[in-house]
Amino acid sequence: MNPSTAPSEPPVLEIRRLRKGFAEREVLRDISFQVPTGSIVSILGRSGTGKSVLLKCVVGLLEADSGEMFYRGAPLAKSECRIALRRASSYVFQHNALFDSATVRENVLLPLQARGTGSPKEWDKNVRDVLARLELEDAAERYPAELSGGMQKRLAVARALVTQPELVFFDEPTAGLDPLRRNAVFAMISKLQRERGFTAVVVTHDVQEALVVSSRILWLDAGLVRFDGPAAEFETSDDAQICEFRDNIAALRTALRS
């Protein structure tokens, strides 16, 4: 077959016309987008635009009111496809969701135990490897409360990566961190993604950091997709609404001069 006529690989995720509301408020309206395999897609938007709601609908933590979702071309409406997505993906929660009564090592071990495949010896090796990769091996027997905010974030990422997922969802991974730690977290996500080859979907308020590490940007505004494309195009767009959102420091300086 001629390579130019070969069928292209389906996106790892595809969302079509998704809607979600609460009571009388519609949070997401007619959301459609794709996540290419091996990409880092950052979902941007103001507070309350439905970024985290969208992520939770995709992973099944919330049920969408309508719309279709596909994992590698298979509809997530089928239970076997939903199970396949869960086994292939991991989720880094906004506030880490660490178990305070478990040590660092035990927190990372939990996903492997829950999955139930492999042997305890293999689990131990995987835990040691990921702790070493994220520079947490010396803290293996400490508890989350004994760690700094940055170390807790690394622990949450270690727990997500220990199963070697092909798809990782990050929900506000830098929430509550100072600028230096925010940069460190985004650098970590980018470096690990290149090394391990997973696809990443990142919900974040951190526009400038996202522009540096992302392949694509999905910008939500008022429950709609206002931009879906390469990060470089979002960064250089002269659309007035994008500029107002993206260039917030310049907008603040203008407001102070007026």
Give the H or E element holding residue 149: helix 149-161
Give the pLDDT band (50/70/90) at residue 251: low
Mean pLDDT calculated for residue range 17-38: 94
Q: Are 244 and 227 in contact (CB under 8 A)?
A: no
pLDDT for 2 equals 47
Instruction: Give mean pLDDT, residues 113-137.
Output: 90
In this predicted structure, the answer to whether residue 252 has a pLDDT above a threshold of 60 is no
Topology of domain 10-257, per CATH?
Rossmann fold (3.40.50)
The reported pTM is: 0.88
Query: What pLDDT, in 10s, does the model give residues 160-170?
Result: 999 999 999 99
pLDDT attached to residue 117: 82
Domain ranges (residues) in the chain: 10-257
Supply the pLDDT for residue 20. Answer: 96
Ordered strands of the 89-92 beta sheet: 89-92, 167-171, 199-203, 40-45, 216-221, 224-230
Nearest to 55 by CA among 93, 29, 81, 23: 93
- pLDDT, tens digit, 9 for 90 and up, residues 193-231: 998 899 999 999 889 889 999 999 999 998 999 999 999
Q: Which of 16-25, 176-185, 218-227 has the lowest mean pLDDT?
A: 176-185
pLDDT band at 128; cut points 50, 70, 90 = very high
Q: What percentage of residues in the chain have a pLDDT greater than 70?
A: 93
Task: Output the pLDDT for position 255.
Answer: 57
Query: pLDDT tens digit string along 97-122?
Result: 899 999 999 999 999 999 888 888 99
**Which two structure tokens, joined as six digits, stand for 40?**
């880092």
pLDDT at 55 exceeding the cut of 80: yes
pLDDT score for 1: 44
Do 97 and 125 touch, CB atoms closer than 8 A? no
pLDDT at residue 250 greater than cutoff 70: no
Q: Whole-angstrom Cα distance, residue 80 to residue 69?
A: 14
Give the pLDDT of residue 93. 86
Confidence of residue 254 (pLDDT cuts 50, 70, 90): low
Report, as an integer, the average pLDDT of 42-55: 91
pLDDT at 50 over 80: yes
